[in-house]
């Protein structure tokens, strides 16, 4: 069966979290390259980092799932209100002064 690489260059934690997420959504995932961890420093980082591989038929769905997960993380990121408070990403307005998120700068990005 032909496999496609859907994630490369992240750390081991990212590889495992992403693999778990894909498996929970019914996508079979292989993690490759972990045996190369011991070669950090000898190989370029991207070559030594683990990569995620899925069957070619699942590749498109896997990429969509990874994108959706990244989107959720971005939306949950805390934002800084103009009053100086940090507000959790799932709140649309500041808990301290009540300003809407749209009026504030997202200084975390
Ligand atoms: Zn505020």
What pLDDT score does 37 carry?
55
Q: What is the share, in percent, of the chain residues with pLDDT greater than 70?
A: 81
Provide the token pair at 94: 């500041």
- The rounded distance, in Å, linking the Cα atoms of 14 and 32 is 13
Could you give the domains of the chain? 3-75 (3.30.70), 77-109 (no CATH)
The span from the CA of 30 to the CA of 91, in Å, is: 36
pLDDT tens sequence across 44-60: 555 567 899 999 999 99
> What's the predicted TM-score (pTM) here?
0.62
Residue 93 Cα to ligand 1 midpoint, Å, equals: 8
**Beta-bridge partner residues of 54:** 4, 29
| Ligand 1 centroid – CA 100 distance (Å) | 8
Q: What is the pLDDT of residue 92?
A: 87
Q: How far is the centre of ligand 1, averaged over its atoms, from the C-alpha of 99 (Å)?
A: 6
Q: What is the arithmetic mean of pLDDT over 74-103?
A: 87
Mean pLDDT estimate for the chain: 83
pLDDT at 35 over 70: no
């Amino acid at each position: 069966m032909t496999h496609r690489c859907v994630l490369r260059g992240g750390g081991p934690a990212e590889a495992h979290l992403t693999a778990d997420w894909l498996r929970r959504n019914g996508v079979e995932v292989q993690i490759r390259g972990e045996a190369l961890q011991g070669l950090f420093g000898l190989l370029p980082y991207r070559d030594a980092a683990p990569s995620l591989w899925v069957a070619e038929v699942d590749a498109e769905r896997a990429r969509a799932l990874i994108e959706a997960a990244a989107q959720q993380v971005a939306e949950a990121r805390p934002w800084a209100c103009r009053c100086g408070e940090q507000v959790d990403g799932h709140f649309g307005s500041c808990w301290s002064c009540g300003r809407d998120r749209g009026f504030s700068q997202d200084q975390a990005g």
